[in-house]
Structure 1
Amino acid sequence: MQVRIRTIRKAMAAQNVQALLLTHLPDVHYLTGFTGSNAALAITPRKAVLFTDGRYTVQAREEVESARVVIAKKKSAQTMAAAWLEQQQLTSCGIDGTHTTIALLGHLRKAVSGRLRRGFFQPLESPLVAAQREIKDAAEIRRMRQAAALGARLFDHILGFLEPGITEVAVAAELEHQARLLGAEAMSFETIVASGARSALPHGRASSSRIPRKGFITLDFGVILNGYCSDMTRTVHMGRATAEEERAYAAVLEAQESAVAAAKDGVTCGDVDEAARSVLKRAGLARYFTHSTGHGVGLEIHEGPRIAANQKQPLAEGMVVTIEPGVYLPGRFGIRIEDTVVINRNGCEIITPSPKAWIEL
């Protein structure tokens, strides 16, 4: 945590940021280890102070080593942080404009004296902590491998649970129950179980619909383990498939593997997206690929970078991203295959070991 804060201070100096106030909880967690639901972290060139409330008196002092802990009593943690920053005799403080609401900004301005209210809190040119979080260190990657491995165990389990007639909600409940039994702290997001014609819904969350005797089932899920998210999607088929369904699955699998092969240090996110999209173009399915190819994963299920068309950002060693092309034929069927990968110098490492080959149940 101390190393991370030192790195942030270097980034602050490079952008001439005198101080930084963070209220986005994943950023606070990343820099301090604090896991509570209310906090503000103030960072200056020499000091780091975490403000929270009385519910977390013991927890904050157990978890936080990289910052001094202050318990807010009569005022909010954010208001106290703003007042403390004014006391440091600064002329400005950077805030993350992507996560600071207008309402919160108003409260922060009211917490400082009138002469500072208009210009003291300044949105950053670009978020400092989010950029740093895109590159995972060895400890983070180890935790993400563990989370991904747990997800793979869940997929193995749920294959034996699937049968015609049970509801999608029952499948999701079984998967989530097993996740808890295996040690997951929570699910990364609301579990997606979409079967039959509903598999054509890219975010078809589990419903009361029953698993059909014939048709695709898309399973998109992830767990949180040691604070870090996993994310994977597998699509399986109930009963005998048609030739068209098999061809479509083969095209999505080829697109996914093509994008995985393209993903490495220095390659732009747009080029990885195109590696998947070009395969589906050749198969005549590109118009049914209606979302981006992937995204970063970490403390949050959606982080930078964004792997999508025309994205110029290059991938970098240590990034952890998803590769998840899919096709969705409205009213008929949908297919998505998703792995989480770690970017390295010569390529990438898949950390979701579940099989992607055709599965017919």
Structure 2
Amino acid sequence: MLNKQESQQRITRLQQELKAKGIDGALFIYPIDVYYFTGTRQNSTLWVPAEGKPRLMVRKSVSRAIKESCIEETVPFPSSKEFPALFPPELQKIGFTFDVAPVQQYNYYAKLLPGREFVDVSAINREIRSVKSEWELGQMRKSGDMICQVFREVPGFLKEGMREVDLAAEFECRLRKAGSEGYVRMRAFNQELFQGLAVSSAACDPGFFDGAVTGQGMSSASPHGASAAVIKANTPILVDYTGIFNGYIVDITRFFVIGKLAPELEHGFATALAIQKYLVDNLKPGVICEELFLKAAEMAEEAGLGRNFMGAPGENAKFVGHGVGLELDEFPVLAQGFKVPLRDGQTIAIEPKFVFPGQGVAGIENTFAVGKNGGVKLTDMPDEVVYL
């Protein structure tokens, strides 16, 4: 559980940013944001003034929030008549996370606090959360250790003739028994997934998910991940999963084959490893995110695989790495247009992958922490293809 010292450090960082930008305070209603600052995910609204003590106002469950919360003033949510009185007239500029707040909720709070200016603090919030403390890095190392234990068991149950969904079910069963919580939280609108994916012959199917590999899924209502397709010999098998322990996510992919790989797929995998090595060597504070993506794309092009990089031709994702933490899509992003420098302690899932329609998918993914000497691996196990 989150401790009070960690919670206070986060709130202090937020208050410093609010004061620097002339914002009088911030209201947080999105559950994972509330959890990040308070240590409880109960249905609550968090008020953090630029100066002074924060207040957590709980709708349900008040009793559990009081037990879990690191905020001294954890109280029941006030009535609509009482709420405005908690905000003196001098508090005029109110921060709100526009990236995730529904319009209905915005209108509700704007009505409770008429005449106030609501401003977007989404970027402030995400930038604070992108830099992990030593405590958080410890949580993510544990998550990495736990999911790697499950990945090591795959050769013992992966068999020719089983369906993709059978492989996924076996993997997910073991992952849950290991304690993974299963909540793959994502901030982006219209994105969702169920723990991860285990795909083989259906791996090349395009889909809505903003990633290199989507999978066919079990229906058009759930068009992501494993399908009922049968796993065959000499066909690449991609197992891409999240491990979530104490809320913290790591993302990892490993590559299996029963038999042999086609030369194109071997070349794709070797290129993915080379791209990963370059990115990890340069995962240092001050390096510009966009430049890393452009170099990765250049390496793919030089290998003759530019059109297959990060998706099937015409369906390519526009990134090669994404921040992870309490959510799967945190800052920073190794993507074109993301012209910001890396910071020490940020955690990134690097995933160079190649899609070859009609043949399969080749690639790798690991979670790393940005460090002074390059990326520090949090999913520490061998990267090589596992031949069965």
The TM-score, its normalising length taken from structure 1, stands at 0.91
Post-superposition offset of 1:192:
0.9
Seen in structure 2, the aligned counterparts of structure 1 residues 181 and 88 have a Cα distance that, compared at 3 Å, is farther
Partner of 2:190: none
Post-superposition offset of 1:310:
3.9
* Matched position secondary structure for 1:346: coil
Letter of the 2:154 counterpart? I
Question: How big is each residue's C-alpha offset from its partner over 1:124-173, in whole Å with a ceiling of 9 and x where there is no partner?
Answer: 26532211111000000000000011111111112211111111111111
* Matched position secondary structure for 1:231: strand
Range that drifts further, 329-338 or 222-231: 329-338
The answer as to whether partners of 2:202 and 2:227 remain within 8 angstroms in 1 is: no
Percentage of matched positions with identical amino acids: 29
Correspondence for 1:203 among 195, 198, 214:
214
Correspondence for 2:304 among 275, 284, 297:
284
Partner of 1:360: 387
Seen in structure 2, the aligned counterparts of structure 1 residues 85 and 172 have a Cα distance that, compared at 3 Å, is farther
Partner of 1:165: 161
Matched, 1:318 2:363: no
Correspondence for 1:250 among 234, 253, 270:
270
* Matched position secondary structure for 1:245: helix
Matched, 1:150 2:151: no
Letter of the 1:159 counterpart? P
The answer as to whether partners of 1:18 and 1:90 remain within 8 angstroms in 2 is: yes
Structure 1 distance, partners of 2:91, 2:285, is: 39
Partner of 2:261: 241
Instruction: Please list, as runs of the form range in 1=range in 2, the aligned pairs for 1:14-93 lying within 5 A after superposition.
Output: 14-36=20-42, 38-44=43-49, 45-53=51-59, 55-72=60-77, 75=79, 83-87=84-88, 89-93=90-94
Larger helix proportion, structure 1 or 2?
1
Question: How big is each residue's C-alpha offset from its partner over 1:37-95, in whole Å with a ceiling of 9 and x where there is no partner?
Answer: x2110111113111121x3122111111224112137x5xxx68963553464223111
The TM-score, its normalising length taken from structure 2, stands at 0.85
Correspondence for 2:289 among 259, 269, 275:
269
Deviating above 3 A after TM superposition, structure 1's stretches of 4 or more consecutive aligned residues are 79-82, 84-89
Structure 2 distance, partners of 1:49, 1:71, is: 10
* Matched position secondary structure for 1:127: helix
Unaligned runs of 5+ in 1: none
Seen in structure 2, the aligned counterparts of structure 1 residues 353 and 306 have a Cα distance that, compared at 3 Å, is same
Post-superposition offset of 1:331:
2.7
* Matched position secondary structure for 1:97: coil
Letter of the 1:203 counterpart? T
Correspondence for 2:177 among 178, 181, 199:
181
Matched, 1:332 2:328: no
The answer as to whether partners of 1:187 and 1:221 remain within 8 angstroms in 2 is: no
The answer as to whether partners of 1:197 and 1:330 remain within 8 angstroms in 2 is: no
* Matched position secondary structure for 2:386: coil
Question: How big is each residue's C-alpha offset from its partner over 1:4-30, in whole Å with a ceiling of 9 and x where there is no partner?
Answer: 111111111000001211112221111
Question: How big is each residue's C-alpha offset from its partner over 1:173-205, in whole Å with a ceiling of 9 and x where there is no partner?
Answer: 111111121122225352211102524651210
Structure 2 distance, partners of 1:80, 1:176, is: 48
Instruction: Please list, as runs of the form range in 1=range in 2, the aligned pairs for 1:110-149 lying within 5 A after superposition.
Output: 110-113=111-114, 116=115, 120-124=116-120, 127-149=123-145
Letter of the 1:257 counterpart? K
Structure 1 distance, partners of 2:70, 2:122, is: 27
Q: RMSD of aligned C-alpha atoms?
A: 1.9
Letter of the 1:144 counterpart? M
Structure 2 distance, partners of 1:162, 1:154, is: 12
Structure 1 distance, partners of 2:234, 2:275, is: 24
Seen in structure 2, the aligned counterparts of structure 1 residues 67 and 214 have a Cα distance that, compared at 3 Å, is same
Structure 2 distance, partners of 1:80, 1:39, is: 18
Unaligned runs of 5+ in 2: 1-6, 185-192, 207-212, 216-224, 310-315
Matched, 1:10 2:19: no
Seen in structure 2, the aligned counterparts of structure 1 residues 144 and 84 have a Cα distance that, compared at 3 Å, is farther
Structure 2 distance, partners of 1:80, 1:299, is: 34
Question: How big is each residue's C-alpha offset from its partner over 1:94-135, in whole Å with a ceiling of 9 and x where there is no partner?
Answer: 11221222111111122234xx2xxx1422265322111110
